[in-house]
Amino acid sequence: MPSRAPASPSVQVFGLEDSPSTRAALRFFKERRVPIHFVDLRRRPIAPAELRRFAERLGAPAVADSAGRAWHDAGLGYLRMDDAEIVERLLADVRLLRLPLVRLGNDVAVGRDEVAWKRLIAAASSPAPESGSATTR
């Protein structure tokens, strides 16, 4: 029986099925044969700890779609909020998120960003850093 290569890690994509950016992310990873775990945020909301992971690594404003219609309709463009307040708003309304949210291992990316997605794949396929060394986003 031939030995199997270690399974490549699965990329987690959080988004909406009808979102063009989410579909672009799914297509991007499928074309590169990266295993995908898709989470439709309409069916299953993102866990608070998972959203906080994105906010801690990238900053809450980067995770929020402040240019989107839902953000302006809610009147949030006029408010000054700290990261915790932004995260609470994002948890309350999925339409405020900048989609897709992509996670591969401990690395994360937000929005339609093929350069970041390529970086995620490259970091996952490279040898693991030695213990104690820092990893980049």
Per-residue model confidence (pLDDT) at position 76:
85
**Cβ-Cβ contacts under 8 Å for 125 (sequence gap 6 or more):** 8
At 7, the pLDDT band (50, 70, 90 cuts) reads: low
Question: Helix 114-125 vs helix 20-31: angle between axes, to the nearest 10 degrees?
Answer: 30
Model confidence at 135: pLDDT above 70: no
pLDDT in tens, 47-105: 999 999 999 999 999 999 988 898 888 888 788 888 899 999 999 999 999 999 999 98
Comparing 104 with 129, which gets the higher pLDDT?
A: 104
Mean pLDDT of 12-16: 96
12-16, 97-101, 122-126: range with lowest mean pLDDT? 122-126
Alpha-carbon distance of 7 to 46, in angstroms, equals 25
CA distances (Å), 54 to each of 60, 108, 118, in order? 8, 7, 18
Per-residue model confidence (pLDDT) at position 74:
85
3-7, 38-42, 86-90: range with lowest mean pLDDT? 3-7
3-7, 30-34, 94-98: range with lowest mean pLDDT? 3-7
Per-chain mean pLDDT for the chain: 86
